[in-house]
Structure formats: structure tokens, C-alpha cells
Amino acid sequence: MKKQLAVGVDIGGTNSVFGFVDREGKILARGRISTALHDSAEELVKVLCKEIRKLQQELGEESELVGVGIGAPNGNIRSGCIEFAPNLKWKGIVPVANYFETDLGCPATLTNDAKAAALGEMLFGGAKGLNDFLFITLGTGLGSGIVVNGELVYGHDGLAGEMGHAILIQNGRLCGCGRNGCVETYCSASGIRRTYLEKSCLAPDAKIDSKFIYEKALSGDRDAMDSFTLTGEWLGQALANSVTYTSPSDIFLFGGLAQAGELIFTPTRKSFEENLLNIYRNKIKIRPSHLAENEAPILGAASLAWKKVKHTNQYE
Ligand SMILES: [Zn+2]
């Protein structure tokens, strides 16, 4: 019998990564190409599919492609389109899932990268067996995947779960979405950077990143430590609010900022409990994601394909 494999593709602003993933969540082979070098989505997918076929041949043994899952900014599962992605070269609504299906001849499922990673956590990470949890990515922005009753929440138009754009502070920081005070302008790698720059009176274009702030905090720098505390306080508050909608058992934090460990987890948990409605107190766990930083995009995307297979098999 041929070995069944799913392909996971993550389309990012700079690079796109892809890999073959087995049913147990093991990445058997992987590759990467530049996203920015390609002017259109159609051209990008063509090159990706060529590379995927090449990789499949290199894998040697006979394999059967059960499907391809794609994680991308503003990816919509309902339409299979990337819709108005801010960090990609092409504009408008692009039928990316369709391009993959036509080229590879197998089912393709597309959703946004944070939702895909949440599914990866459920199938292959720390959320195995959990039915209700939140998955938060703290990268350049704040992405989220909401799982209720064992299913990702997509909403009527496929666009549910934009927790990063809930307004946290009235008339607060200007967000990339054009509004003010969104959660992600405070609780993200770029958010903590803004906080640190404000605290230490540095110019907005100062060449520092969240890793620099992390190292400063470790060395005992007051502004850096305060920046982590403040970020955690804001994040705890935002998460306490979000809990009222779906009552999750666990909240997973993923991404560069989450890797700061107790520097971010301790103030987040403290603020979370303080801001929670009493009926939710002391029973929701805020935990680090179990997915490795460099594997999550591929595993998450591939889990879209595996989920579809498992779902179909249930009804056979
Ligand atoms: Zn926003």
C-alpha cells in the first residue's frame, strides 16, 4: 500500500515553506522558496507545485497525496481565496486553493496561518484531545484560532477569530488596519517594541527588535522588564475578555514573544486571573504551544488536509 502523505504549504510575505507530513505529524521532507520574487499568485503556486513534485520524487518510496493544506495571511476557507493580504505583492481576491487543486490534482484547503497553526496544535501538539481552546500567535501581529466543540470557528464568512483587532485601548495606538487601540498594537513583537521605545524615549525608527528587549530584560534592564510586564498585563486583559465568548479550557501562546518564557507568561497569567469574571477563575490554563517554531507553519497547513481526510472517513 502506498504511504499516505499530506502537503502543508505556508505562504508568508517573504518566504513560502512547504513539506510532506505523515498522519502522525512527522515532517518527512521540506523546502522553501521566496514569495517576494514572484509577481503573481498564479506564478508562485506554479513554482511551489513544481518543487512539491520534485520533493515527492526525492522521497523515493511510493506515496499518495491525500491533499494539500495552505496557510496564508487572509486565507479564507470558504472561498479558498487569499483576500486582500496586506503583506503580499498581489492585491484583491485570489483563488489560491483552486490553483493548487488544478496543478496537483488533489483536494486543497486554505485558511489563515493562525487558524492553521491552531489546528496543528490540536492534531499534533499540546491540544490533542481538547475540545475548547484558544491558540494565540504573538508575532509581528497577534493571530488567533478559536476551537469550540472540537472544531475551528470560521464564522459565516470564514473570517472569525481576528482577536488581534479587538479594541483594547480607546483612542490607543494606530493599527495597520487603520483603527486605533487594537490588541495587536500592544500584544505582539511589534507591540512590545513600541512599548519599549516609548518607555526608554527612543525614536520610533530605532533599530531594535523584541529579541533585543528580551536580552535587555534578562540582563536586568528596568525599561525592558517593565515592557514585558505591561505587555503581559494587556494580554491578560485581552484574553480574559475573550474567554467570556467561548469558555476555553486552555489558551496556547505561540510565536517569538511566547518564547520569552516566564517574562511574558507570569504577568499574563496574573493579569488574566485578575481580570476574569469570577465564574472562570482558576480553571483556565495559559500554556506555551508544543509546536516547534520552525515546524508549526508546515504542520498547521498539513493538518488542514489531514482533518479533511479524517472527516471524510468518518462518513464512509
Ligand atoms: Zn487593528
Q: Measured in angstroms, how far is the CA atom of residue 68 from the centroid of ligand 1?
A: 30
229-to-6, 60, 150, 272 alpha-carbon distances in Å: 41, 51, 33, 12
- Residue 315, pLDDT score: 44
Mean pLDDT calculated for residue range 274-290:
98
| CA 87 to centroid of ligand 1, rounded, Å | 14
Q: Flag whether pLDDT at 262 surpasses 70.
A: yes
Q: Give 91's pLDDT tier (boundaries 50, 70, 90).
A: confident
pLDDT in tens, 151-195: 999 999 999 999 999 999 999 999 999 999 999 999 999 999 999
Q: What is the pLDDT of residue 60?
A: 79
- Please report, as a single letter, which amino acid is at residue 232: G
Distance 135 CA to ligand 1 centre (A): 18
Ligand 1 midpoint to CA 182 (Å): 5
Ligand 1 centroid–CA 20 distance in Å is 34
C-alpha to C-alpha distance for 171 and 210, rounded to whole angstroms: 24
Task: State mean pLDDT over 50-55.
Answer: 96
What size, in residues, is the chain? 316
How confident is the model at residue 316, as a pLDDT?
Answer: 38
Per-residue pLDDT, averaged over 118-122, amounts to 98
Beta strand pairing status for 250-254 and 133-138? Answer: parallel
Instruction: Report CA(63)–ligand 1 centroid distance (Å).
Output: 43
Question: Separation of 78 CA from ligand 1 center, angstroms?
Answer: 23
Cα 138 to ligand 1 centroid, rounded to whole Å: 14
Say how many Å lie between the CA of residue 118 and the centre of ligand 1. Answer: 21
Give 163 Cα–ligand 1 centroid separation in angstroms.
Answer: 9
Ligand 1 centroid – CA 178 distance (Å): 7
pLDDT digit string (tens) for 208-246? Answer: 999 999 999 999 999 999 999 999 999 999 999 999 999
Average pLDDT score over residue span 72-78: 94
Q: How far is the CA of 245 from the centre of ligand 1 (A)?
A: 20
Q: What is the pLDDT of residue 80?
A: 96
Distance 121 CA to ligand 1 centre (A): 25
Q: How far is the CA of 200 from the centre of ligand 1 (A)?
A: 25
Closest CA to 49 of 11, 85, 3: 11
pLDDT over 80 at 61, yes or no: no
Q: What's the gap in Å between 311 CA and the centre of ligand 1?
A: 34
Closest CA to 109 of 126, 96, 97, 93: 97
